[in-house]
């Protein structure tokens, strides 16, 4: 086999391997079914689909605490994530506890640190983290670094456009590189 052919075959093998890894990590990641937990945590952005899963869990009695990661000072985002903003604004009026904040930094790592702080403060032993499919694997890695509690990773079931899948293949891959360079929480 010529050198040029070997290069082409090698590149094809690498491309197929990368595609298989992306499919496993981002399209078909491990996830959990909703279950009883101390808190249901919607990590940002709090889309309508994520909020619907969280509210369903609360309505089914799986938890009496809803935690929402929400940009607090951006009127545009509050209008975009209307249901989350409504719940945050009426937190004391709900038949369940609603905790809203903008983690610092407003990243998955910041959200994981906030979960750990809330769990320590409130004595939680379990939580459900709700996010989109391509974010589940990276969320799992980061949350585990920050808190050793029992976490259910729940897929929000959001339908994503093909271009958004491509965006997440690139974004999540780059973000995994960053995670690999960070230590601890």
Domain with residues 3-181, CATH architecture: 3-Layer(aba) Sandwich (3.40)
Residue 63 is predicted with a pLDDT of: 98
Boundaries of every domain in the chain: 3-181
d(CA 170, CA 164): 10
Q: What is the pTM of this model?
A: 0.89
pLDDT tens-place values along the chain, 185 residues long: 676 666 555 555 555 555 556 666 677 888 999 999 999 999 989 999 999 999 999 999 999 999 999 876 666 666 678 889 899 988 888 899 999 998 988 899 999 999 999 999 999 999 999 999 999 999 999 999 999 999 999 999 999 998 998 898 899 989 988 988 988 89
Task: Check: CB of residue 108 under 8 Å from CB of residue 139.
Answer: yes
């Amino acid at each position: 086999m010529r050198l040029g052919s070997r290069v082409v075959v090698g590149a094809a093998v690498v491309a197929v391997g990368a595609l298989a890894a992306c499919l496993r990590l981002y399209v078909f990641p491990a996830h959990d079914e909703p279950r009883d937990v101390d808190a249901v945590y919607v990590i940002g952005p709090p889309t309508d689909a994520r909020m619907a899963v969280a509210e369903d869990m609360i309505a089914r009695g799986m938890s009496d605490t809803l935690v929402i990661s929400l940009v607090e000072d951006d009127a545009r985002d509050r209008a975009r994530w209307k249901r989350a903003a409504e719940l945050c604004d009426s937190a004391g009026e709900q038949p369940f506890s609603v905790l809203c904040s903008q983690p610092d930094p407003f990243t998955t790592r910041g959200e994981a640190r906030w979960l750990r702080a809330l769990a320590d403060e409130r004595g939680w032993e379990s939580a459900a983290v709700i996010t989109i499919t391509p974010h589940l694997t990276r969320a799992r890695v980061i949350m585990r670094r920050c808190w050793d509690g029992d976490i259910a990773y729940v897929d929000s079931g959001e339908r994503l456009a093909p271009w958004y899948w491509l965006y997440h293949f690139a974004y999540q891959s780059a973000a995994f590189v960053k995670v690999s360079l960070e230590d601890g929480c």
